[in-house]
Amino acid sequence: MSDREWPWPAGAATGIGSLPGTDIAEAQRVVLGELPALPHLPELPARGPGADLIGRTAGLLVELPVELYAARWQVAPRPGRDLRRARDLMERDLDQLAEQAEEYAGTIKVQAAGPLTLAASLELPIGGRMLRDPGAVRDLAASLADGLRGHVEAVARRVPRSRVLLQLDEPSLPAVLAGRVPTESGLGTYRAVESDVAGVLLRGVIEAAGVPTVVHCCAADVPLDLIRFAGAVGVALDLDRVTDLDPLGEALDAGLGLLAGAAPTTPAAGRAPTSAQVADRVRGLWDRLGFPRRQLAEQVVVTPACGLAGASPAYARAVLTACRDAGRRIVEE
């Protein structure tokens, strides 16, 4: 394991994606300043529709237009105002990234919803989630694959000295696999997607993107074997949700990297955690798994437990700082 080349530097820290506020220039300054080893393209859902995870990702889809209907994203007959807004917001974000990170020469992480979470969230024109129609789910995954390939290329053009790390957000993946996604009436659930089918869909998207990819899931019961099968280089987890260490230990031993969600997204006792507390949390997990400390700084990236959109700007910045300094503590030990 120690010989492996990871797509991030030793002792790296990063954010999961979302931050508070509506000023993308300021958000990118914070990220580039606080997370110099592994900055991410921030998401600001407070800007409204099209800046949320589903709308933002739906704007990347190829030949599958979407629109808002009753505050939900659904497949549309033709491109319209809602889709233009989502794409304009992304374009502004990428332009701002090019301006602020033009000379950056490390790895930049970008985030998008994964195919299963997207299928559990987007609605068909006739009603119901795309999840109800296996053919529609396959078409959605293919469209997402094409869109993410283009998105990764767009980031690489704007920051030509950088390398891109893709994060696929799959918060709904365990519910999709277990048949727990509720129908609109709330009286039933959609049929479970077989694990091998989900793995093939996820693998297709990862292979099409053509860059190292991590899968983020802040739910319980994360399907680590499926994520490994799909070809991800790492998994991003909320450490509070990890109750069974054996599957995680097996996945890490088999070569999966870990983005360890070790800092809470809301303040405990009214203040942010210290870097020492965050570092101790990560070291404690690693020691319980029984791995040698020399691997820790290389295989693990320190992150907040999840997105920080609901935090205050001051708390969000303090958490990113704590994660950065915790990564430095870990690499220096």
pLDDT per residue as tens digits for the range 29-39: 999 999 999 99
Average pLDDT over residues 301-330: 97
- Tell whether pTM > 0.95: yes
> Which tokens belong to 193?
């997607």
The pLDDT of residue 227 is: 98
Percent of the chain residues past pLDDT 90, beyond the cut: 92
Long-range contacts of range 319-322, CB-CB < 8 Å, 24 or more positions apart?
319/263, 319/264, 319/265, 319/272, 319/273, 320/13, 320/15, 320/30, 320/31, 320/34, 320/35, 321/34, 321/275, 322/263, 322/272, 322/273, 322/274, 322/275, 322/277, 322/278
Using the predicted structure, report yes or no on whether residue 246 has a pLDDT greater than 50. yes
Residue of 87, 195, 66 lying closest to 140 (CA atoms): 66
C-alpha–C-alpha distance, residues 24 and 145, integer Å: 26
Q: How confident is the model over 264-286, as pLDDT tens digits? A: 999 877 789 999 999 999 999 99
pLDDT band of 63, cuts 50, 70, 90: very high
- Determine contact, residues 252/291, Cβ cutoff 8 Å: yes
The pLDDT of residue 177 is: 98
Concatenate the DSSP letters of all residues of 44-86 into one string.
-GGG-TTSSHHHHHHTT-SS--EEEETTEEEE-SS--HHHHHH
Using the predicted structure, report yes or no on whether residue 4 has a pLDDT greater than 90. no
C-alpha–C-alpha distance, residues 75 and 86, integer Å: 14
C-alpha–C-alpha distance, residues 160 and 36, integer Å: 17
The pLDDT of residue 3 is: 66
The SS3 of residue 156 is helix
Q: How confident is the model over 173-227, as pLDDT tens digits? A: 999 999 999 998 888 999 999 999 999 999 999 999 999 999 999 998 999 999 9
The pLDDT of residue 208 is: 98
Share the mean pLDDT of the chain: 96
Q: For residue 16, give the amino acid letter.
A: I
Q: Are strands 163-169 and 213-216 parallel, antiparallel or unpaired?
A: parallel
Residue of 227, 246, 109 lying closest to 173 (CA atoms): 227
The pLDDT of residue 45 is: 98
pLDDT band of 1, cuts 50, 70, 90: very low
Using the predicted structure, report yes or no on whether residue 2 has a pLDDT greater than 60. no
The phi, psi pair for 59, rounded to 5°, reads: -65, -15
Q: How confident is the model over 116-147, as pLDDT tens digits? A: 999 999 999 988 999 999 999 999 999 999 99
pLDDT band of 291, cuts 50, 70, 90: very high
- Determine contact, residues 215/231, Cβ cutoff 8 Å: no
Sorted by where each begins, the domain ranges of the chain are 48-232
